[in-house]
Amino acid sequence: MIDLHCHLDLYSNPGRIVDECVRRELYVLSVTNTPSAWAATNRLSMRHKRIKTALGLHPVLAKERISELPLFDKLINETRYIGEIGLDGSKECKEYWHEQTKVFTHILSMCQRSSDKKIISIHSRNASKEVLDGLEIFSRAGKFILHWYSGSLAQLKRAIDLDCWFSINPMMLKSAKGRKLAKMMPANKVLLESDGPFTQQKGIPLKPWDTDIVLNQLSEIWYISSIEAGRRVMSNFRELLK
């Protein structure tokens, strides 16, 4: 199975999580929140071909880490995978909206200039319109995966028109709104994520293999068995990598 948005480096025991992912033959997109975290996070899993480490600069850290953009540029050719990047329109993050847009725009323009087609995991909490405005401008930056999409239905339609992918985690489908959004997402664009260790169940951080929970939830939305849902998601994943 797959987990296309997971913070492996932020678990208290990353080595053991990596070992278990390998044992279970999971495909994992290990995202990072700062360019300075990339090298050590990449070392955690570089021997394992199913785990890829993405280079990112999280919008919530945009002000604090904008000075790491030159390091981002230096590392961009080391990997095809970018994330976590994006914008966050929450009240406490609006204060440094200027830095957020500067970081986001810079990264998208760098991706657009790079020779390979990047696969990009994107955060859009309370900022789906502004994120999509950016993706529209830099539409050739790569393949976009909207991680934990929670915007409006109108913006979701725009995202679909922009050919976005969607990674869904178990928390998203707990609310009626989340299920409604998931139902509207094209089934051939749906991927799975855990967003661990930020997501929890009964106080315990979700692990990459807990994306199995999403398959059960998707089987209800798609009116198919969870095995069939799993096949669909794996075929989407293979398509993404093309």
Binding site for Mn ion (CB under 5 A): 84, 195
Nearer to Mn ion, 87 or 232 (CB): 87
Nearer to Mn ion, 77 or 200 (CB): 200
Q: How far is the CB of 159 from Mn ion (least distance, A)?
A: 18
Q: How far is the CB of 199 from Mn ion (least distance, A)?
A: 9
Which parts of 67-205 fold into alpha helices (H)?
A: 69-75, 91-94, 97-113, 128-137, 153-161, 176-184
Structure tokens at 105: 């725009």
Nearer to Mn ion, 128 or 232 (CB): 128
* Nearest one of 43, 22, 23, 24 to 32, comparing CA atoms: 43
Nearer to Mn ion, 68 or 84 (CB): 84
Contacts of 197 (CB under 8 A, 6+ apart): 7, 10, 11, 12, 205, 206
Q: How far is the CB of 92 from Mn ion (least distance, A)?
A: 17
| Contact call for residues 206 and 196 (beta carbons, < 8 A) | yes
Torsion of CA 111, 112, 117, 122, to 10 degrees: 50
DSSP assignments along 158-194, one per residue: HHHHTT-EEEE-TTGGGSHHHHHHHHHS-GGGEEE--
Nearer to Mn ion, 9 or 84 (CB): 84
Nearer to Mn ion, 56 or 134 (CB): 56
Q: How far is the CB of 136 from Mn ion (least distance, A)?
A: 23
Chain residue at closest Cβ approach to Mn ion? 195
Q: How far is the CB of 34 from Mn ion (least distance, A)?
A: 13
Q: Quote the CA–CA distance of 76 and 148 in Å, as a whole number.
A: 24
Q: How far is the CB of 30 from Mn ion (least distance, A)?
A: 11
